[in-house]
Amino acid sequence: MGIKLGSIEMKHGICLAPMAGYTDSAMRVVCHNYGAEYSVTEMVSAKAVVYGDKKTFSLARIHYDEGPVAVQIFGSEPDIMAEAAYTLSNTLDGMRPVAIDINMGCPVNKIFSNGEGSALMKSPELIERITKAVSGAIKIPATVKIRSGINGSSINAVECALAAEEGGASLICIHGRTREQMYGGVADREIIKNVKSALQIPLIANGDIVDGESALAMLRDTGADGIAVGRGAVGNPFIFSEIIAAIEGIDYKAPTIEERVSTALLQIRLAVEEKGERIAIPEARKQIALYLRSFHGAARIRAEINRATTYEEVEKALKSALYNE
C-alpha cells in the first residue's frame, strides 16, 4: 500500500473525496486532524478561474493546516482547462496545491448537460486531450476523477482511465457508480478492479466507504492503491482514524460525546473565520445534524441550531448535548 504523488507520500492512501458544498477548508482541516492524508477541494469552474472570479478563487484557497490538498477543476475545453490549472498552481494565496484534479465524474444535470463532469466520459479522446493540456501546463501532477460510466449500457471506465493515463495523469480516482446512478445503488467494485488491472499509475477507489470494515473490503476486492471517503466523512471525520486502525490491525476507540462536540465546534469556528457567520452558519447545519447522530435530545438540538444565526448560539446548543448524557 501507499501512494507517491509528486512531492507527497501517502502511507495508506486515505483521502477525502471532493464534494461540492461540503469539502471546504474547515472540513479539510478536521479530516486531516483525524488522518486524511490527502484532500481535494470542492470543484471550481475553469472558465471562472480564467475570467478572474473572486468567489471561485476563495473556493480554491488552501490553508496551512489542511495537509496536502489538490484543487479540482471542471470544464470541457482543453485550452481553458490548461490556463486555469496553470493559474491555480501558481497564484493562489496561502498554500499551493499539490496537484490539479480534473473532474470527469460529476453527475449533476447542470454540469452534465453542459458537456462537463461525467459527460466527458462520452469521449475518451477528449479526456486524453484535456489531461494532456492540463498536465503540460503545470509542474505539479495532474489527476483525474471518473465514474464507472454514463449508464449501465456504457461502462467505459477502463477506456477513459487509459485515455487519462495516456494524457499524462499521475493518478486516477474512480467512483464505482454510473452517472445515471448518481449516488444511489451500490458502487461496483468489479469495475474498479478492472481499471486497476489496466493502469500503470495509482488508482484510488471511491464509493460506499462508511467505516473501517468497508474500507478494508474495498481495498481487498479491488486491489486499489488507496481509498477516497466522501459522504461517510460528513459530520464524521473520525472515520479516517477508524480506517487507519482497521488497516493497521489495531483497536479503534470511538470518539466520546465531548470529542464529537469539540470537533463539530472547531469545524464551525473555522468556517466562520473563513466565510463569516451569515454564510457559514447555514452551511454548517447539514454537517452538524450528522455530528449529532446517537445524541440524546438530538432533535431538539438540531431545531435550536436551525434557528441559530451566530457561532455562540450554535456553541450553546451543541454543548447542551453534554448535559443530556
Specify the DSSP class assigned to residue 118. G
Rg from Cα positions in the chain? 19
Q: How many CA atoms lie within 13 A of 84 on its CB side?
A: 31
Whether 40 and 70 have beta carbons less than 8 Å apart is answered as yes
Q: Which residues touch 162 (CB under 8 Å, ≥6 apart)?
A: 124, 198, 199
Q: Estimate the crossing angle of helix 277-291 against helix 311-319, to 10 degrees.
A: 20
Whether 101 and 40 have beta carbons less than 8 Å apart is answered as yes
**Alpha-carbon span 117 to 109, nearest angstrom:** 10
Q: Which residues touch 21 (CB under 8 Å, ≥6 apart)?
A: 42, 283
Catalytic residue numbers? 106
Q: Report the alpha-carbon angle 316-261-298, nearest 5.
A: 75
Whether 174 and 204 have beta carbons less than 8 Å apart is answered as yes
For cell 493497521, what's the residue?
248
Number of Cβ within a 10 Å radius of residue 93: 11
First-to-final CA distance of the chain: 40
Whether 9 and 202 have beta carbons less than 8 Å apart is answered as no
**Alpha-carbon span 54 to 133, nearest angstrom:** 24
Whether 274 and 311 have beta carbons less than 8 Å apart is answered as no
For cell 501532477, what's the residue?
141
